[in-house]
Structure 1
Amino acid sequence: MSGERYQVVIVGAGLVGAAAALALGRQGVRVALVEHRPPPPPGDAWDTRIYAISPASQRFLEGIGAWQRLDGGRIQPVFRMDVAGDGSGAVRLDAYAAGVPRLATILESGRLQSALWQAIEADGNVALHCPATIESLVRNGASTQLTLADGTALEAELIVGADGAASRIREWAGLAATRVAYGQSGVVANFECERAHRGTAFQWFFDSDILAWLPLSGNCVSMVWSTRSAHADALLMLEPAALAEKVRAAGHGRLGELRLLTPAAAFPLRLIRVAAAVAPGVALIGDAAHGVHPLAGQGVNLGFGDAETLAAVLAQQRRGNCGDVRVLQRYARERAEPVQRMQAVTHGLHHLFADDRAAWLRNSGMKLVDRLSPLKAMLVREAMS
């Protein structure tokens, strides 16, 4: 059975899947996007899911016409980052000192999702199937037959799995994934601050925990507290005022009194390694292709890097078969090094700060880095790429 024919069908229209579809559509690739439910329209309340968008990701989002659709009053540049160890170690990363305009830009997931969908609808280059669920997937020679629950049949040279950490596409393609549970959860919530944050992000390492405050517009912060799962459960049980006090104390009162703006939520932390991100007729992007510890805030940026690279590789292949594994291996090779590097760095830092025996090493290392301005500038530029 044949159906609507596309060069690429992307499964999953989250941030990374929607960005990939938008980028491919703008490159002239015939692309469809399948998603089981549309995103809710953003409201006035702060979104619990907050992302630190790197300058490289911002340039990509500008290039596909999504960034321009964001509400400028709800985004916040990060000009500096103060990192403190569990001893006397501390590092300040400063955009001005490194000769760059900002380290990152903080924004809400829901508002970026809305901007991407608006851009897709305005462009008209992407066939959007939503709400839709997949009934079956059958590989047949050089194409894949995808049947939706409503009977719609799609035929694609390439299926792109952008369907998250529990990817059905990854499982269907037989692309093995290794999961390493950290035994921790990330507790997230947003707070209003007594004192101005002045575009500064804060991060503390203590008692095997990592606490981060990301600046939001309107003198608010978004908290991510990576902690043992039992402690995370205890934090979720606290009344709003008690949680705000706990977070204030853990951050040494840097921004004065805090007031909870959004209910706290938690998600498990794990490392996901995928042996191969491609197979004949299949490519994985975003969380379907990799998972990293959130301490560096780079997960979504890795995903946007996947989307940008895949679009660039496939744009050169418009007259050939987009599912040709030799073409897809170019994408896999280009993404392997940045993904493996970020996984190694975040995994290593997690273990360094989880080991009490390494206290002297980590605090001495932080003090050394803070004294070496060229090294700090290099770290800033690496994070921005």
Structure 2
Amino acid sequence: MQHFDLIIVGGGLAGASLAVALRETRLRIALVEANPPRRPDAWDARIYAISPANIEFLERIGAWKHLDASRIAPIRAMEVYGDGSGHLGFSAYDSGVPNLGCVLESSLMACELWESAKRQSNLTLFSPAVPASLEFRHDAAVLHLKDGVTLGARLVVGADGRDSWVREAAGLKAWNTHYGDKGVVANFATEKAHHNVAFQWFRGDGILAYLPLPGNRISIVWSTPDCHADQLLSLSAGDFCERVAEAGQRRLGALELLTPPAAFSLRLMRVPQTVAPRLALVGDAAHGIHPLSGHGINLGFQDAMELARRLVEAQAWQDIGDERFLQRYQRARREETVLMQTTTDALKRLFASQVTGVGMLRNFGLSVTNRLPYVKNSLVRYALGAF
């Protein structure tokens, strides 16, 4: 058996960022991943809006400066429209900040974090590798891989996504609420310049977001009922472009498809217990939220940052796999996670409601908030600092 202090199962964004954040510690780390990240030939259809707080985290661990700046677009402003006359606008300038975040490809971050992890002297990479079984002993967690290799450590971190094998192997429950919706994603070239403005429309057929990419390009996420999503995916490229342009009120003119549309099922996932003796969960293994806020991976990065901070500050005599030690991480992350889950779920249900009078009230609420600069700027500053 090979002995480590920490085993991270899952080398995606949350798991890899946790590993890199621990690069200057004395911890002996094993990183287990079945499928190493790869860059697509063109633009990656999986796009994230990264908050300033998490850009700072990536800067601190040395990853951000190595990213290709020509593939990153700052968000200078955001325009939100209700399904009636409601409108809410946010501006980085009005809020006194350089930008509201940055939009970039998932694979761009994943590959850089992966390369950083590979260079770490305190990390051993097991990839491609697939877990076979996991057992918890009084003094260690033991992970058996399908190729016969056995790893032991004081702590195992599950960073292996929303269908986490680690979470299931440890017997931790996940409560899923399926929305009956899919998130349709694709990238486009635009006729008109977006000027680094992000747009979001709450529509009768779902929630459509335009995220700016470098140049005259955007990425979209259209959260919509399964039947409508399937209909969108069945359209020709030309008809799909026309449908997305029309749904976005032709704000950016004609659209040209850059990546084939894809879709993923949407669900709210609550994990009441994210730690156990010799176990902690981070990222999508620990929570799932509706994509309307764009904060999914931001929560994951904050998980990694908080757990790394706890591990860095641990005294030599402390057992990092002790549940009492890990409870501090769970308590630190619970409030933000529950707040984001509750808020996004409530917004989704509010704008999906067909109850008489609700539509007028929700659009009125957007417009009133837009006329209250203090409230609006407080929302922006909270988001910038918390996520």
Scaled to the shorter chain, the TM-score interval is over 0.9
- Per mean C-alpha deviation after superposition, the further-off stretch among 350-359 and 196-205 is 350-359
The residue number in structure 1 matching 2:152 is 155
What pairs with 1:175-186 in structure 2 (closer than 5 Å)? 175-186=172-183
Instruction: Provide, for residues 252-285 of structure 1, a one-character-per-residue CA deviation record: whole Å limited to 9, x for no partner.
Output: 1000000000000000000000011000000000
Task: Tell me how far apart the structure 2 counterparts of residues 75 and 122 of structure 1 sit (CA, whole Å).
Answer: 24
From 314, 331, 352, the counterpart of 1:333? 331
The residue number in structure 2 matching 1:368 is 368
Task: Give the % identical residues.
Answer: 50
- Does residue 221 of structure 2 align to residue 221 of structure 1? no
The residue number in structure 2 matching 1:77 is 74
The residue number in structure 1 matching 2:4 is 6
2:182–2:226 CA contact under 8 A, matched in 1: yes
The residue number in structure 2 matching 1:130 is 127
Task: Tell me how far apart the structure 1 counterparts of residues 56 and 381 of structure 2 sit (CA, whole Å).
Answer: 15
Task: Tell me how far apart the structure 1 counterparts of residues 321 and 204 of structure 2 sit (CA, whole Å).
Answer: 48
The residue number in structure 1 matching 2:253 is 256
The residue number in structure 2 matching 1:379 is 379
Letter in 1 for 2:302: G
- Per mean C-alpha deviation after superposition, the further-off stretch among 134-143 and 53-62 is 134-143
User: RMSD across aligned C-alpha pairs, in angstroms?
Assistant: 1.0
The residue number in structure 2 matching 1:203 is 200
Aligned partner of residue 123 in structure 1, secondary structure:
coil
Task: Tell me how far apart the structure 2 counterparts of residues 334 and 123 of structure 1 sit (CA, whole Å).
Answer: 28
Task: Tell me how far apart the structure 2 counterparts of residues 88 and 120 of structure 1 sit (CA, whole Å).
Answer: 49
How big is the shift at 1:5? Answer: 1.3
The residue number in structure 2 matching 1:37 is 35
Aligned partner of residue 218 in structure 1, secondary structure:
coil
What pairs with 1:1-385 in structure 2 (closer than 5 Å)? 3-40=1-38, 42-319=39-316, 320-357=318-355, 358-385=358-385
1:28–1:315 CA contact under 8 A, matched in 2: no
Aligned partner of residue 23 in structure 2, secondary structure:
helix
Structure 2 residues not aligned, in runs of 5+: none
How big is the shift at 1:153? Answer: 1.5
Task: Tell me how far apart the structure 2 counterparts of residues 25 and 71 of structure 1 sit (CA, whole Å).
Answer: 22
Instruction: Provide, for residues 100-134 of structure 1, a one-character-per-residue CA deviation record: whole Å limited to 9, x for no partner.
Output: 11001000001110110121123333211101011
Aligned partner of residue 353 in structure 1, secondary structure:
helix
Task: Tell me how far apart the structure 1 counterparts of residues 91 and 26 of structure 2 sit (CA, whole Å).
Answer: 40
Aligned partner of residue 65 in structure 1, secondary structure:
coil
Task: Tell me how far apart the structure 2 counterparts of residues 101 and 273 of structure 1 sit (CA, whole Å).
Answer: 34
How big is the shift at 1:43? Answer: 4.0
Normalising by structure 1, what TM-score?
0.97
Normalising by structure 2, what TM-score?
0.97
How big is the shift at 1:44? Answer: 4.3
